[in-house]
Structure 1
Amino acid sequence: MSDPAPRIVRRETHSPRSTAAVIVALCLAVVIAWVATEGVLSLLGLPALLLSPRGMLTSVAGAPDASAASVIAVAVAAGLVGVVLLAIALLPGRRARRPLHAEHAIVVADDTMLASALARTAARTAAVSADAVSVSLGRRTATVRIVPVSGTRVDRDAVRGAVTEEFTRAAPTRPARVSVLVSPAGKVGS
């Protein structure tokens, strides 16, 4: 029996494609039901809801004779829809979560929780208040922004080292590049 941990981590850190698949299936079902309804109404000799089957066929057959602008607009719209659907199908949809190190459990943490922990570490190291530090996490980067009290110097290297150590302790499988930005204009008071 295989280890379920990698599957669980992948399921929690990547977004499923089921929503996009359901939306595409519903759109196709609506179009097919509409075309079928128009066909039945035509067979019964009743007026069409939007466009009769004969009208659909003549507009498709007359597409080469249409103006170049309308043909290009339809082609661009269809191409954009195709590219979006292809991107949804092929690109990994990553949630803002990452696996953390734990000995006997599977721990997946939200990026905002991890950013908050990194901000506390940076604030403690820089000797500033917690509201003077903000951290944003990317896939492989962490950006620490510090607004110190006016006249106070912040040791960027010490902050970078402390945040890197904290990040490595929490998520050792994904090393991150940490950048520290210290605001040149400090704030007044603590």
Structure 2
Amino acid sequence: MSTVSTTPERPSTDARRASSQSPAPAVPASFAGVYRRIARRETHSPRSLLAIVLAVLLIVSLAWVGTEIVIALLGAPALLVAPRDMFASLANIADAPSGIVATAGVLAAIVGVLLVVAAVSPGRRARHRLASNRTVVVADNEVIASALARHASIAGNVDPDNASVSVSHRQAVVHLTPTSGIPVDRGVVAEVVSAQLDSYELRPTVSPRVRIADDGRIGA
């Protein structure tokens, strides 16, 4: 009588290695739109704070004007400006010096343009999206800066405490303070940082900038 083993055979080492090196499956087309919305939600912020501040200022202004009108009707002295004087000043604004009127108009136009730009443009969080074929990967700028600082300190042969990185929306600025008597090769540090940023495949892309302090630190 022959016996058949039901234990599956283990894959060979080459087969396991090939399986581990196989590319990750791409995101299905049906999920691409969902992932884009998730990435945008995680990397952009609403303008809620600006809207709340403007609403509070408008409410306070209207409350003040209403209070001044009630006080004027009661015959009491005004808190700041009487409504009659306020409206008279607005009516006679054309008689004011042209320089004051032009300056006020320019300031009002600038404030209006800034508010329109803030309302139309999306707010951004201090985060970047990393390239991935399987899911949405978002990293805080502080995490990216910490990783870049570690590689920059190694490439520049400086103490980790003497390396700092600030990551903004489009740029990563590396600050290095060398040890006294040990020069730092800016080109090598810039090359290492650039290679790291390329490997992260950040979206939007970030360009590196390396700054070396003129004065070294003793015992660093």
| TM-score, length basis structure 1 | 0.76
Distance between the aligned counterparts of 2:86 and 2:173, measured in 1?
55
- 1:26 paired to 2:56: yes
Which of residues 137, 152, 155 in structure 2 aligns to 1:122?
A: 152
CA contact (8 A) 1:163 1:178 kept: yes
1:100-179 to structure 2, matched below 5 A, reads: 100-179=130-209
> 1:146 is matched by which residue type in structure 2?
L
Cα pair distance change 1:55/1:111, threshold 3 Å? same
> 1:46 is matched by which residue type in structure 2?
L
Distance between the aligned counterparts of 1:41 and 1:172, measured in 2?
60
Look up the match of 1:71.
101
Look up the match of 1:47.
75
CA contact (8 A) 2:44 2:125 kept: yes
Structure 1 stretch displaced more, 131-140 or 71-80: 71-80
Look up the match of 2:124.
94
Match of 1:189, SS state, is: coil
The gaps in structure 2 that reach 5 residues or longer are 1-29
The gaps in structure 1 that reach 5 residues or longer are none
Deviation at 1:41, TM superposition (A): 6.8
Match of 1:122, SS state, is: helix
Per-residue CA deviations over 1:77-118 (Å, capped at 9, x if unaligned) read 423432331232234433322112345443322212211110
Distance between the aligned counterparts of 2:96 and 2:187, measured in 1?
65
> 2:194 is matched by which residue type in structure 1?
T
Distance between the aligned counterparts of 2:179 and 2:132, measured in 1?
37
Runs of 4+ in 1 over 6 A off after TM superposition: none
CA contact (8 A) 1:144 1:178 kept: yes
> 1:26 is matched by which residue type in structure 2?
V
Distance between the aligned counterparts of 2:203 and 2:88, measured in 1?
60
- 1:82 paired to 2:115: no
Distance between the aligned counterparts of 1:8 and 1:98, measured in 2?
13
Distance between the aligned counterparts of 2:147 and 2:162, measured in 1?
14
Q: Which has the larger radius of gyration?
A: 2
Distance between the aligned counterparts of 1:135 and 1:41, measured in 2?
57
Structure 1 stretch displaced more, 1-10 or 104-113: 1-10
Cα pair distance change 1:61/1:131, threshold 3 Å? same
CA contact (8 A) 1:101 1:169 kept: no
Which of residues 31, 36, 39 in structure 2 aligns to 1:6?
A: 36
Distance between the aligned counterparts of 2:106 and 2:207, measured in 1?
39
Match of 1:165, SS state, is: helix
CA RMSD of aligned residues (A): 3.0
| TM-score, length basis structure 2 | 0.67
